[in-house]
Structure formats: C-alpha cells, structure tokens
Amino acid sequence: MARSVSALGAFALLIALGTSAFPQAVPDPETDIVRLAGAIKPVVAKNGMVTTQDAIATRIGVTILEKGGNAVDAAVAVGFALAVTHPRAGNLGGGGFFVIWLAEKQQAVALDFREIAPAAINAKSFLDENGKPDISKATRTGLGVGVPGSVSGLATALEKFGSGKFTLEDLIAPAIKLARDGIPVESDLERSINFFQKTLLRWPSTAKIFAKDGAPLKQGDLLVQRDLANTLEAIAKNGPDAFYKGEIADKISLAVREAGGVMTSDDIAKYKTEILDVVRGNYRGYDILSMPPPSSGGALLVQLLNILEGFDFKGGPNAPHTLHLMVEAMKRAYADRAEFFGDPAFINVPLTRLTSKEYAAQLRAGINLAQTTPSSQIKAGLTPKKEGDNTTHFSVVDKDGNAVAATVTLNLNFGLGLVAEGTGVLLNNELDDFALAPGVPNAFGLVGGEANAPGPGKKPLSSMTPTILLKDGKVSLVTGSPGGSTIITTVLRVVSGVIDHKLNIADAVLLPRIHHQWMPDEVRAERAFERMMPPEQWIAFETYGHKVDFFRFNIGAANSILVTPEGITGVSDPRYLGTLAAGH
C-alpha cells in the first residue's frame, strides 16, 4: 500500500492530580494503537479536568481550577503556557478558535482569533512570474505570514468570559517563568525540534534558540526563551496593546518584510478578535456546538452527523459497512467545503442550508449502500498533495459545568519557523490555507475555490473543529484535534464512538482513524487498521470499491473530556509523547 506522513506518533502519560497515577511505558514514536486499545483508562475527577498536548501546560490549567478559576481562566493560562512548552503549535504568533459553554447563562459563544492577511495581499500574491501558483511563497517566505491573533484571542476570552478572580498578569506568570528559566528538552519536544530542524535552523534568529553549537537541541538540553519571556511580561503588564502596538509589533512586521512579506505595523495594530455565534446541530439527542466560518470544521461536522443519523451502525465502529458509510459522507461534505467555504466577511457561506437535515437527506439519498461513488461524479477537481500536521487542541471543564474547546495553530509545524528577532515569537505561515488559485491544493492537500481566494484583510479557511456536545443542557463531550484536513474526520470519529457505540472517552479516542477529503479519491487510514481488522474485513471493505492509503504515522491528537455519572473523565491522546489529562 502507498504510504504518506501525518503526525508524529507517540505515547501519552495520563495522571489524575489528586488521584493515583496511571503509569505507562513509552513505546516507539509510531504508537501501537492496537496494543493500547483497552489498556488505557480515562482519568476521572470530580471538580474539573484539563487535557492538553503538554503535561506542563495541563498542570498549570489544573492549578488555576484548584484556585477557583473557571474553564476560561484555565484555558487562557494553558494557551500562554503552550506558547512556551509546545512551540510547534502553541503560539503567540499564530491564531485559533475557542468554543465556550457558560453553564449558568446557558450560553454558547465562539471566539475567532484566526490570522488575517495584510492589506497588501491580493489574488496574485502567491503566483509566480508565469501566473502559476507557487506554494513555496505561502509556506517558506514572509508572504505566508498572517497577522497573529492568539494574544488578542486569549486576552478577549479572559476579559469577556473569565471568572473575574484572575488578572491577565496572573495567568501569564507561569509562562513567563517557564520561558525565562527554561524547560528541559525531552520526549515530543526533542523529536519535533529534530524532525523539523530544516524549518528552524534556516533562520539565524530561530537557530540561536532551538540549536546549540549548530545542532538541534537534544534531550538533556534546556530550551530557554528570554526574548519570549520579555514579550510575555510586556503583555502581562500592559495588555494586548503591548503586542499589537509599539516595539513588539514593529519587530514582527520588520521580520516578516525581511523574509519577503508585506506586513506592516499598521496591519498588526488593526487586529481584533471576533465573538461569533456557534454552529449548532443535533445528533441522536445531543446538541452540537462547534466553530463557524472562517472555519469549515463546525459546519462540516454537523453536515456529516446529519447524513450519518439516517444510518444504523450495529456492526460496530470498525465494521466495513460503517466505514463505507462514513467515507461516503466525508466525500460529499469535503466537496461542499471546496465549493462554498471562505471568510464570511467577504462571501456568503450558505450555512443554514449546508447544516440542515433536509440537505443531509438529499446527500444521503445519493449514497450507494453497496458501492463507492467516484469523487469525480460528486464534483470535478484536481488531485491534491499529501497531508501534514499543524495545530494543537486542548479541552477544559470546570466544577460548575463551564467548558472550553480550544484549537490553536501556526499552520505547519513551527509555522514559517521564523522567530521575529528580539521578540521570541515564532511566526505562522497561515496564508497557505487560502486557495492560491481555484482547484489548487494547499500544503494539506485541500482544494478550494474563489470563495477562499487570498485578499487584503481576509481570513483563510480552516479545518479546526473545537466542539462541545450537550445532553439536556449540560456539557457531555469536549473535543477537537490537530491534523490539517483530518481534523474534522478525527472529531467525527470521537463523537460517533461516544454516541453511536457507547464507548468511554479513552476507547473513543483510541479508535483507529479513517479519512476522505473528496480529492484525492482515496481513503486514508491509520496503520492500526492493518492489524485491527482481520483480512476478510478489509476484503469486504474493498469490495465497495475504495482505494486505501495507509498513513505511516498516526492521525490527530484528540485531547478530550466526557462527563459521565461516575465523574468528569478525560484522556490525552496516546498518539503523542508528553501529553497529560489531569483533574481535581
């Protein structure tokens, strides 16, 4: 079978603070999901839960909950900590989305702090001298850097929805200390720095932080980020204006321009976080709250669940017929993504229609229960390039039933890899998420059209899918994932595992993942499927006409929380090293 690279796979340590530890041995980077299935149990807590891709950040979030903070307070502290401890995705120089549930008010809100294209970006910015798309301009030069939104987003979340018990300075203080004193390089951090050293070491300002004597930092070294500590300290004392106006903004815009970009300090000064209505849906009695455009994630998740609601999955989550139905739904939803989705400030995304039960019924009627439908018969398009991995997701639930599903990103791992001199801030290459030309795939293989064309002040389309499910008005599930275009289908797999197959949160997260994004017309599956499903089941699946491409590594990192009668249960995705789910 053909193979392509997705996320760095590994193992997760699960510890419930205040409860007994759940020790595990660390296996090879390519985590054996088959061996772990059934072996990992959810962490259980009574008063709150934090699950992230980094153990240090998780403990910071739990400490805030223990001191009386709400889920938003904890999420803000985690967000700033991840900028220090998980630099390939956690960030100040990127952006992201929060979906928030406020239990007392019975209110759901979405925070959009997605990166924005500078004013000088236009439809021709990423074309070569012959008028052909040049993806390297978006991924390897300053042209791909969007105005960062993370600092504004985190500050806005605290101001609008925090408990009022903590100042911004309180919540940034742990991150400042970590950046100034340094963190030990181990597990996932060591592997990621080494794996992406070409991205990092080509920039002198970055190499002096992430390398020693010309070589990438390794286990036993200390990652010290004094400039980042100074930047965090300025934000803590003076608020987000310290980042968006003045010396820090000037240094960021200068670094972008010196790398071939067009960003100005004025572009940075104009940035504002948007507070939006969530995308809503309902699946088998559960209310779905997820992210609206400029993310396609929430709408596609609702559309997929609407389609699948008309089917029965008695055969189990890995049954050939179950997988066939999921793949056929995916193909149709991703075809709509390519045609309809973009920045809602510039185009009209027909959300009401796309998320309606009636439209889902039309799509469902077109699914052949015995045979796959070729993608070319759904919509015409070009064959995209390979997948990649980018973001990080974390989930928080507090004792009062408030919840945050948070996904933040630099786009590709470490973004552009460029640290703006004197700031410690790693810069994104998020403008790669635009459709550089209609039908041309981005670095994640996703095809887009005119709706997602680059332009001044526009936000590129995203697949991030931070999601909260409610049952009878109370939080049931909080989930999300990194993984580029596979984010939506990863979240779908977790939701379906919990609801359709009554799995606990660890077993739902451990389900082997399967993905189809319309183009290319192939099923992408984790390697665990090769051994988890007997040969006769694969033969049965292939009789539907599916072409399968097994990923070399695992897909996504769905750090998730499920509220049960036994308590708040959480799991950090065991596909990564150094992650932690913890409660109190």
| String of DSSP letters for 256-318 | HHHTT----HHHHHT---EEEPPEEEEETTEEEEEPPTTBSHHHHHHHHHHHHTTS--TT-TT
pLDDT at residue 188, rounded to an integer: 86
Residue 13 sits at the vertex; the CA angle it makes with 7 and 16, to the nearest 5 degrees, is: 130
Output the CA torsion 462→464→470→475 (10° steps). -140
Name the residue among 299, 300, 296, 303 with its Cα closest to residue 279: 299
105-114, 478-487, 529-538 — which is least confidently predicted?
Answer: 529-538
Q: What pLDDT band is residue 171 in, cutting at 50, 70 and 90?
A: very high
pLDDT at residue 13, rounded to an integer: 25
pLDDT at residue 20, rounded to an integer: 25
Q: What pLDDT band is residue 395 in, cutting at 50, 70 and 90?
A: very high
Q: Is the pLDDT of residue 5 over 60?
A: no
Bigger pLDDT: 574 vs 308: 308
Q: How confident is the model over 116-137, as a mean pLDDT?
A: 94
Tokens of 280: 């809503």
**Annotated active-site positions, please?**
391
Q: What pLDDT band is residue 538 in, cutting at 50, 70 and 90?
A: confident
pLDDT at residue 561, rounded to an integer: 98
List of residues 6+ apart from 483 with CB closer than 8 A: 6, 7, 387, 389, 390, 391, 490, 555, 556, 557
Tokens of 116: 């924005």
**Single-letter residue type at 554:** N
d(CA 183, CA 444): 31
Q: What pLDDT band is residue 442 in, cutting at 50, 70 and 90?
A: low
Q: Is the pLDDT of residue 440 over 70?
A: no
pLDDT at residue 388, rounded to an integer: 38
Q: How confident is the model over 365-385, as a mean pLDDT?
A: 81
CB 524 within 8 A of CB 459: no
29-38, 280-289, 449-458 — which is least confidently predicted?
Answer: 29-38
Q: What pLDDT band is residue 439 in, cutting at 50, 70 and 90?
A: low
pLDDT at residue 452, rounded to an integer: 86
pLDDT at residue 380, rounded to an integer: 66
Q: How confident is the model over 243-256, as a mean pLDDT?
A: 98
Reported as a single tens digit per residue, the pLDDT across 147-168 is 999 999 999 999 999 999 999 9
Omega before residue 27 within 30° of 0, cis? no
SS3 content of the chain, % helix, strand, coil (to 5): 35, 20, 45
Q: How confident is the model over 288-303, as a mean pLDDT?
A: 97
Name the residue among 76, 218, 82 with its Cα closest to residue 161: 76
Q: Is the pLDDT of residue 187 over 50?
A: yes
Q: How confident is the model over 225-254, as a mean pLDDT?
A: 98
Q: Is the pLDDT of residue 36 over 90?
A: no
List of residues 6+ apart from 321 with CB closer than 8 A: 315, 369
pLDDT at residue 7, rounded to an integer: 27
Q: How confident is the model over 115-138, as a mean pLDDT?
A: 94
Q: Percent of the chain, pLDDT > 70?
A: 91
pLDDT at residue 3, rounded to an integer: 25
Q: Is the pLDDT of residue 383 over 60?
A: no
List of residues 6+ apart from 82 with CB closer than 8 A: 52, 53, 54, 57, 89, 90, 91, 392, 394, 408
d(CA 424, CA 228): 4
pLDDT at residue 24, rounded to an integer: 27
